[in-house]
A and B are shown apart, each in its own frame.
Chain A
């Protein structure tokens, strides 16, 4: 802000150009702040392993990790591993997400159905996730289906809980406004209930997805012949720490990207929630 003002006073003829320029620059600067920490970590990591402060068979230098990843990219193998893992997460996310959304909505709306379903669901939530593995393998075999089932279990709970609580917490006063304006059931759902719970639902989706990524690793570590988790096991078996670290970093990147995807898709629905300042900024930029 100050910079902009200063420019105004110093170089009047180029005012608008400079203001625009400064704004873009400031924005870039703000957005690149997030890169500082990873870059620093990479430098320290590089320093530690190159100087043999940590043994390189435990912590190979970044260059070696990059190399390992590049080798895998050469024959397209890496890409297919990523796709397979993504596909598992996606399927589990859709399955768990749909189930959770339906159950979340009906238990949120109806106290009777809540009494019917919620205690059981809460009890199942207390089961440690890995405890499902033997059962799912027994039921669905050792291939894709059991993995997808396990992931959907992880995805299910945050979405279910957020949605149910979101619906229960809708302000009675707001419902009363719908009532006094003679909205019918469909209109109430369209104008009040759905927009009112979208924020909670999206929060649920994002934490559900995060859990989906946790569970996909669990699923792949337990036995898979493809996928990012498999790469890690492979790295462990064949004594290639660079591969383990590489897969780990890829997990972080792909996981973050999928989260960003939800974030961007949901942005138009959350416009009204963003803070006052942000909105003014957006208007100025437009």
Chain B
């Protein structure tokens, strides 16, 4: 279980300090798949980076299975908006980066298995610049998954892709989630994407005076596949237009 407890984040400089996250409390069960949505700049990436151990919370903490996270670990994989592959390593070596401490045989086995899982085979020898955006993002997902993490964090992983590739990969993530039995937390500002992939959509709210005063967490249950279309639209309208109201349990 991923437990986020009273997390605050303040970015401070000599001449400015910005309250980015204020008192975030959140519990994410094992094998849950959730989305985090919100306006640009409301601190979604920051929260995800704190969960990943890339950044420290100003106060509060995040724990995974009761262990406090204070640095990146192989238990948590992360995929960024841009694939961030090392251009000087081929696909195979790029994926290998997250399992450098394994022996060669294990590496080969894990990498080939993972490439299969993300739907890419026989491309181990290609250079990143020979990949399409969608392929590169799949490789990035493979790099995060090859260490067999318990939690996969996705920070707007598909926002740079065309809509065909995007929906294809969304299905794929959903599929990976159900076959691998991992926890997935995805940040997105596309509400359609959020409702398409996840079982729970959390909204991080930035109130309009340019300071973060409150964060509302909105829970919406699934399954959305059985949603009547008008209800689905209503849900999206609610999410978009009722920024300050607290919960949308009416739809459950």
Contacts from A to B (Cβ < 8 Å) = 173-174, 176-183, 187, 191-192, 195-196, 198, 271-273, 276, 279
For residue A166, give the distance in angstroms from its CB to the closest CB of chain B: 13
Query: 10 closest pairs, A vs B, by CB?
Result: A195-B88, A181-B98, A180-B72, A272-B127, A272-B88, A177-B84, A181-B97, A180-B78, A173-B84, A187-B100
Q: Are A179 and B54 neighbours in the complex by a CB distance under 8 Å?
A: yes
Residue of chain A at shortest CB distance from B85: A177
Q: Are B72 and A181 neighbours in the complex by a CB distance under 8 Å?
A: yes
For residue B152, give the distance in angstroms from its CB to the closest CB of chain A: 12
With A181-B98, A191-B86, A272-B87 given, can you name 20 additional A-B contacts, CB distance below 8 Å?
A173-B82, A176-B84, A177-B86, A177-B97, A180-B72, A181-B147, A182-B73, A183-B97, A187-B100, A191-B89, A192-B86, A195-B88, A196-B88, A198-B88, A272-B90, A272-B127, A272-B129, A273-B87, A276-B130, A279-B130
Distance in angstroms between the alpha carbons of A180 and B144 in the assembled complex: 9
Q: Please indicate the chain B residues that have their CB under 8 angstroms from the CB of A191 in the complex.
A: 86, 89, 93, 97, 100
B80 interface residue (CB < 8 Å to A): yes
Distance in angstroms between the alpha carbons of A179 and B54 in the assembled complex: 8
Q: Please indicate the chain B residues that have their CB under 8 angstroms from the CB of A182 in the complex.
A: 72-74, 98
For residue B215, give the distance in angstroms from its CB to the closest CB of chain A: 25
B21 interface residue (CB < 8 Å to A): no
For residue A181, give the distance in angstroms from its CB to the closest CB of chain B: 4
Q: Are A180 and B86 neighbours in the complex by a CB distance under 8 Å?
A: no
Distance in angstroms between the alpha carbons of A24 and B199 in the assembled complex: 60
Q: Please indicate the chain A residues that have their CB under 8 angstroms from the CB of B129 in the complex.
A: 272, 276
Among A176, A181, A196, A279, the one with the most B-chain Cβ atoms within 10 Å of its Cβ is: A181
What would be 29 A-B contacts, judged by CB atoms less than 8 Å apart?
A173-B80, A173-B82, A173-B84, A174-B86, A176-B84, A177-B84, A177-B86, A177-B97, A178-B97, A180-B52, A180-B53, A180-B72, A180-B78, A181-B97, A181-B98, A181-B147, A182-B72, A182-B74, A191-B97, A191-B100, A195-B88, A198-B88, A272-B87, A272-B90, A272-B127, A272-B128, A273-B87, A276-B129, A279-B130
Q: Are A183 and B100 neighbours in the complex by a CB distance under 8 Å?
A: yes
Distance in angstroms between the alpha carbons of A271 and B128 in the assembled complex: 12
